[in-house]
C-alpha cells in the first residue's frame, strides 16, 4: 500500500485501521479463481500455433496499455502497426496474448488494405500483473511483436468480502 | 447551506471521483460512444416510450417524448414525498410512477430496467449543478445521513468520514480513496463490469468496513444519499459516469 | 444480446480513412467465475465480430474470454463508396446480433 503523508499522526493511525480493512477491501474480481492458469509456456505454445517456425522480430508494432491498471476487469488496449496499408503491403492479422489469464489468447483481429490504418482499440481483462504480447502478421509473411508489462492493482470496496 | 459543516472538506477543495481517476478511465466516461453507460441510457430511452401496466401508458405519454421534461430532476433528488412523509430517491420515484401511474409491478432494485430508466432520466441532468431542495422537511433526514457518515461502525470500527473526509487521495490497496461525491449515478464501475446505483456503491463500502449493509431502499441509504447530495451541492452531474 | 452502439461518420470523402467505434451489451461470462453457490457459471461470450461494407468483409475479430464485458472495439476503414456497413456479433450459442449504419461518400 502506497500512501502519501499529509499528516504523519493521522496517517499512521489510519494505516493501522486500513491495514485491517485490506482483507475486506481486497479484490473479488472475476478472474481471481483460476482453475487453469495460462503460463508463459502455454502462451509460447499459443504463439507457435500462430507463427509456426517463422521468426518473430521486435518492432513495427506498438502496444499501448496503462502501465498501472486501475481495474483488471476493464483494461484499455490500443495496438498500432507501422504499415502503409496498401494492396502491396498491409497487415493481415493482429494477435494479442497474455501470460497469466486462464487462457493465453485474448483476441485476433483480421484486417487488410481496406482498413486504411492498422490501429485498433479494445478493452481486456487481466487477472494479475503480467506481460501482454501483440504480434502482427504482415502481407509479406513476416511477424513483428511488442511486449508490455502491466501492473494490475487490486480494487477496493468490492462487492463481497469472500 | 453556504459553508461546509465542521470536519467536512472545504467547498473549494471538493473534487469529483473523476478528477482522481486515470486519464484512460476519464476518456472512457467523456466519449459518449465509448462509455458503456450509454448502453443503459439507450435502453432507458426505449423503455421510456413503451406502454406498460394495466393503464397501458408510457412514461413518454405523460412526460413527453424527449425526456427533456426530466432536465434537472436528478440534480434535486432525493426529494420529500408527502404521501410517504419521508424522502425518496430517484429510483423510488420512478417506481411510484410505475406502480401508481402505469399500474404495473415495481422494478426490483438494481434490475436492468430501473438502472436503464434512472440512467436515462439522470443523463437529462448531465452538466447540471447538484441543487438539493430547500425543503425544511428534509432536514432531520439529512442530519441522520450526516450522523451515519460520521458513525464508526463495523468490525473495523471505521466511519465513512475517516476515509472520505480525512484520507481522500490516499491509496487503499490499489485504489485511490475519493471524496465520495454522488455526481455520476447510476454509473459504470469497471469492477462491476456493469451499471450500478449509488446504493450499490454504498453497500460495497459497508461490506469493506465489515459492517452489515442495509436492505436496498432502506431509509438509512436514502438518508446517506440525501446527505451526500447536500455535501456535493453545486458540483456537476456526470451521469452516466465511469469509475474504477 | 440486447443493445449495440455504433459510431460511423454519416458522410465522408472517397478514400478517406474513417474511424468506427462499436459497443455491445454482453456479460462475456468467462466460464471461470463461480456463482454464489460456488458453482462455475458456464462460459457465454461473443466469440466473433465481423464488419462488412456493402457486403465485403473489411474487419473481423475472434474474441476470447479475456475481452472485457460489454465489448468495445474501434478500428478504421477506407470510405470507398456510399452504402451500408453491417456489424455482426456472434455468441457461443451461435446466435447473432446485427446492426447497420449508412454512409454517404462524395
Specify the CATH class of B37-123 in words. Answer: mainly alpha
Provide, as residue numbers in chain C, all residues whose Cβ is less than 8 Å from the Cβ of B36: 23, 25, 70, 72
**Residue A157: pLDDT band with limits 50, 70, 90:** low
The CA distance from B59 to B65, in Å, is 8
Q: Identify whether C97 is part of a domain.
A: yes
Please give the grid coordinates belonging to residue A118.
492498422
Least confident of A124-128, B119-123, B135-139: A124-128
pLDDT per residue as tens digits for the range A112-131:
999 999 999 999 999 888 99
CATH architecture of B14-21+137-243: Orthogonal Bundle (1.10)
What CATH code is carried by the domain that includes residue C10?
2.60.40.10
Give one DSSP letter per residue of A18-80, joined into a string.
HHHHHHHHS---TTS--SS---HHHHHHHHHHHHTT--EEE-SEEEE--SEES-TTSEEEEEE
Full-model pTM: 0.91
Number of other residues whose CB lies within 10 A of the CB of residue A87: 10
Q: Contact C59/C18 with Cβ under 8 angstroms?
A: no
Whether residue B39 and residue C68 make contact (CB cut-off 8 A), yes or no, is no
Helix axes B198-208, B219-231, angle to 10 degrees: 100
Nearest residue on chain C to A99, judged by CA atoms? C66
End-to-end CA distance of chain B: 31
Q: Contact B197/B118 with Cβ under 8 angstroms?
A: yes
Residue A158: what pLDDT? 57
Nearest residue on chain B to A159, judged by CA atoms? B204
Q: Identify whether C34 is part of a domain.
A: no
The CA distance from B168 to B181, in Å, is 11
Q: Is the pLDDT of residue A4 over 90?
A: no
- Cβ within 8 Å of A, B 5-34: 21-22, 24-25, 27-28
The CA distance from B230 to B142, in Å, is 8
Buried b (16+ CB within 10 A) or exposed e, B82-106: eeeebbbbbbbbbbebbeebbebee
Q: How many CA atoms lie within 13 A of B90 on its CB side?
A: 30
- C94 burial class (0-12, 13-18, 19+ CB within 10 angstroms)? exposed
CA-based nearest residue to C87, from C74, C101, C102: C101
Residue A70: what pLDDT? 87
Please tell me what DSSP assigns to residue A16: H
The CA distance from B195 to B42, in Å, is 13
What is the SS3 assignment for C22?
strand
Residue B24: what pLDDT? 93
CA-based nearest residue to B42, from B51, B33, B31, B52: B33
Q: Is the pLDDT of residue B113 over 60?
A: yes
Percent of chain B at pLDDT above 90?
Answer: 94
Question: Chains with 3 or more CB pairs closer than 8 angstroms to B?
Answer: A, C
Whether residue A155 and residue B173 make contact (CB cut-off 8 A), yes or no, is yes
3-state helix, strand, coil in chain B (%, to 5): 45, 10, 45
Q: Is the pLDDT of residue C85 over 90?
A: yes
Residue C33: what pLDDT? 85
Interval B114-122 mean pLDDT = 98
What superfamily in CATH does domain A40-154 come from?
SoxY domain (2.60.40.2470)
- Judged by a CB distance cut-off of 8 A, whether residue A11 touches chain C is no
Residue with cell 462475456: C28
Q: Name the domain count of chain C.
A: 1
- A155 burial class (0-12, 13-18, 19+ CB within 10 angstroms)? buried
At C15, give phi and psi (nearest 5°): 90, -5
Whether residue A66 and residue B167 make contact (CB cut-off 8 A), yes or no, is no
Beta pairing, strands C72-78 & C56-63: unpaired
- Judged by a CB distance cut-off of 8 A, whether residue A93 touches chain C is no
pLDDT per residue as tens digits for the range B36-89:
999 999 999 999 999 999 999 999 999 999 899 999 999 999 999 999 999 999
- Judged by a CB distance cut-off of 8 A, whether residue C71 touches chain A is yes
Tell me if domain B14-21+137-243 and domain B37-123 are identical in fold: yes
Least confident of A1-5, A143-147, B93-97, B208-212: A1-5
Task: Check if B62 is active-site.
Answer: no
Interval B7-30 mean pLDDT = 94
Whether residue C66 and residue A101 make contact (CB cut-off 8 A), yes or no, is yes
- C45 burial class (0-12, 13-18, 19+ CB within 10 angstroms)? buried
Q: Is the pLDDT of residue A31 over 50?
A: no
Provide, as residue numbers in chain A, all residues whose Cβ is less than 8 Å from the Cβ of C73: 120-122
- Judged by a CB distance cut-off of 8 A, whether residue A29 touches chain B is yes
Least confident of A95-104, B143-152, C94-103: A95-104
**Residue A110: pLDDT band with limits 50, 70, 90:** very high
The CA distance from B113 to B119, in Å, is 10
Whether residue C5 and residue B43 make contact (CB cut-off 8 A), yes or no, is no
Cβ neighbours of residue B32 closer than 8 Å, sequence gap 6 or more: B38
Q: What is the mean pLDDT of chain B?
A: 95
Q: How many CA atoms lie within 13 A of A47 on its CB side?
A: 24
Domain positions in chain B:
14-21+137-243, 37-123
- Judged by a CB distance cut-off of 8 A, whether residue C102 touches chain B is no
CA A83 and chain centroid, separation: 23
Residue C1: what pLDDT? 45
- Judged by a CB distance cut-off of 8 A, whether residue C40 touches chain B is no
The CA distance from B183 to B239, in Å, is 7
- ipTM of this model? 0.95
- Show the domain range for C96: 3-29+41-105
What is the SS3 assignment for A10?
helix
Residue B218: what pLDDT? 97
Q: Max CA-CA distance within chain A?
A: 67
Least confident of A38-47, B156-165, C95-104: A38-47
Give B101 to chain A, closest Cα distance, Å: 34
- Judged by a CB distance cut-off of 8 A, whether residue B210 touches chain A is yes
Q: Compare B20 and B4 and report the one with higher pLDDT.
A: B20
Rounded to 10 degrees, the C-alpha dihedral A81/A82/A84/A87 comes to -40
Residue C84: what pLDDT? 98
Amino acid at each position: 500500500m502506497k500512501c502519501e503523508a499529509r499528516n504523519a499522526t493521522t496517517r499512521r493511525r489510519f494505516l493501522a485501521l486500513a491495514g485491517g480493512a485490506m482483507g475486506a477491501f481486497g479484490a473479488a474480481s472475476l478472474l481471481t479463481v483460476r482453475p487453469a492458469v495460462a503460463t508463459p509456456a502455454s502462451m509460447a505454445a499459443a504463439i507457435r500455433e500462430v507463427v509456426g517456425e517463422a521468426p518473430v522480430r521486435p518492432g513495427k508494432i506498438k502496444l499501448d496499455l496503462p502501465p498501472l491498471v486501475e481495474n483488471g476487469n476493464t483494461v484499455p488496449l490500443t495496438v498500432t502497426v507501422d504499415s502503409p496499408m496498401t494492396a502491396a503491403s498491409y497487415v493481415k492479422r493482429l494477435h494479442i496474448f497474455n501470460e497469466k489469464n486462464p487462457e493465453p489468447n485474448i483476441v485476433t483481429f483480421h484486417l487488410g488494405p481496406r482498413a486504411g490504418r492498422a490501429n485498433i482499440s479494445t478493452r481486456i481483462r487481466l487477472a494479475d500483473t503480467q506481460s501482454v504480447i501483440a504480434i502482427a502478421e504482415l502481407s509479406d509473411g513476416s511477424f513483428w511483436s511488442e511486449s508490455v508489462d502491466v501492473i494490475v492493482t487490486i480494487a477496493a470496496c468490492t462487492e463481497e468480502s469472500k | 447551506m453556504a459553508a461546509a459543516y465542521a470536519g467536512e472538506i472545504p467547498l473549494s477543495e471538493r473534487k469529483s471521483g473523476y478528477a482522481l481517476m486515470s486519464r484512460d478511465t476519464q476518456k472512457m466516461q467523456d466519449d459518449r460512444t465509448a462509455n458503456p453507460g450509454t448502453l443503459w441510457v439507450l435502453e432507458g430511452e426505449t423503455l421510456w416510450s413503451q406502454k406498460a401496466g394495466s393503464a397501458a401508458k408510457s412514461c413518454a405519454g405523460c412526460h413527453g417524448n424527449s425526456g427533456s421534461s426530466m432536465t434537472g430532476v436528478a440534480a434535486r433528488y432525493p426529494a420529500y414525498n408527502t404521501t410517504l412523509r419521508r424522502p425518496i430517491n430517484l429510483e423510488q420515484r420512478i417506481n411510484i410512477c410505475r406502480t401508481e401511474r402505469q399500474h404495473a409491478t415495481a422494478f426490483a432494485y438494481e434490475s436492468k430496467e430501473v438502472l436503464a430508466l434512472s440512467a436515462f432520466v439522470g443523463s437529462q441532468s448531465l452538466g447540471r449543478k447538484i441543487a438539493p431542495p430547500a425543503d425544511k422537511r428534509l432536514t432531520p433526514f439529512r442530519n441522520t445521513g450526516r450522523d451515519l457518515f460520521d458513525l464508526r461502525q463495523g468490525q473495523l470500527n471505521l466511519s465513512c468520514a475517516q476515509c472520505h473526509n480525512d484520507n481522500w487521495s490516499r491509496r487503499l490497496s490499489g485504489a485511490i480513496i475519493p471524496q465520495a461525491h454522488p455526481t455520476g449515478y447510476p454509473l459504470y464501475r469497471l469492477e462491476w463490469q456493469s451499471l450500478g446505483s449509488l446504493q450499490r456503491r454504498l453497500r460495497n463500502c459497508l461490506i469493506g468496513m465489515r459492517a452489515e449493509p442495509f436492505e436496498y431502499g432502506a431509509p438509512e441509504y436514502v438518508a446517506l444519499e440525501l446527505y451526500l447530495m447536500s455535501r456535493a451541492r453545486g458540483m456537476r452531474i456526470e451521469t452516466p459516469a465511469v469509475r474504477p | 444480446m440486447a443493445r449495440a452502439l455504433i459510431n460511423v461518420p454519416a458522410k465522408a470523402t472517397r478514400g478517406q480513412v474513417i474511424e468506427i467505434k462499436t459497443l455491445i451489451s454482453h456479460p462475456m461470462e468467462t466460464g471461470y467465475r463461480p456463482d454464489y453457490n460456488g458453482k462455475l457459471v458456464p462460459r457465454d461470450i461473443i466469440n466473433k465480430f465481423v464488419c462488412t461494407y456493402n457486403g465485403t468483409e473489411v474487419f473481423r475479430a475472434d474474441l476470447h474470454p479475456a475481452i472485457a464485458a460489454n465489448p468495445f472495439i474501434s478500428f478504421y476503414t477506407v470510405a470507398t463508396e456510399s452504402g451500408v456497413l453491417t456489424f455482426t456479433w456472434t455468441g457461443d450459442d451461435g446466435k447473432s446480433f446485427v446492426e447497420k449504419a449508412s454512409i454517404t461518400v462524395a
